[in-house]
Structure 1
Amino acid sequence: MARVVMALPSENLVATVEAFCQAATTHAEATNSGEYKTANRAYANLVAALKCLEAHESTHLLRPLLHSAMIGPKLWSATYFLSRGETKAVDILNQLATRKDILGFSAQMTLREWQAGRLTFHFPA
């Protein structure tokens, strides 16, 4: 049975990408400062934005974030695309893995899990 998805106006998809960016930025900041509750809420918002974009077959709108100056959107978009088999994300994560902070470590572990075939992107219910 074919999946039916209601069309969203393009401005709603742009708002969804902006919500992804905000959530990714908040997650990175909270991770760096050890605020795990804030990071967990940001992750839930990030996943909600991804679910919406996937439902509307619009995850391609995240591609520009691979070149973002902001670490959160860059890290999370690269992680998303890596989990979808896009090898361009490897270069970006390798670059981020050189950072000497928790986000660099996150990029290292993401690559390690991907190389071991264990990277999955879980969407909580």
Structure 2
Amino acid sequence: MNVKTAISKFIEASIKHREGIDQGDSRTANASYKKLYNSYVWLKENNHVSELVILLDHENEGVRCWAARYTLILNKEKAEKVLEELRSSLSHNVSFSAEMTLKEWEDGNLKF
């Protein structure tokens, strides 16, 4: 895998994860989560997690939400801002995810 492939897989899996959640399809959501997490792990192990920062401006809310979660430690201000904006999303699943991510971050429960 290379950085471009890892980012592409992260984006695709983030989109599919949100679709799975929105449709109540746990099989798709879980499989997609594994793919996006594996992409994150590859980026982390190869010192390229910072590449996810560009996804904070992605057009898809699911991509922005996952990118914000994984970049909180790298770009706290921007990631928190994205999550705060997503808390008012029309998608209940996105707004809830953003809210819980911020809560867990503030409580010190997120580990990277």
TM-score (normalizing by structure 1): 0.81
Identity level (%): 32
Q: Specify which structure has the higher proportion of helix.
A: 2
| Aligned equivalent of 2:75, options 79, 83, 86 | 86
Q: CA RMSD in A?
A: 1.4
| Aligned equivalent of 2:101, options 99, 110, 124 | 110
User: Radius of gyration: which is bigger?
Assistant: 1
The alignment covers a number of residue pairs equal to: 110
Q: Report the alpha carbon displacement of residue 51 of structure 1 after superposing the two structures with TM.
A: 1.2
Q: Report the alpha carbon displacement of residue 34 of structure 1 after superposing the two structures with TM.
A: 1.1
| Aligned equivalent of 1:39, options 29, 38, 44 | 29
Report the equivalent of 2:39.
49
SS at match of 2:88: coil
Contact preservation (8 Å) 1:19, 1:45: yes
Structure 2: tracts of 5 or more residues without a match: none
TM-score (normalizing by structure 2): 0.90
Q: Report the alpha carbon displacement of residue 85 of structure 1 after superposing the two structures with TM.
A: 5.4
Q: Report the alpha carbon displacement of residue 55 of structure 1 after superposing the two structures with TM.
A: 1.5
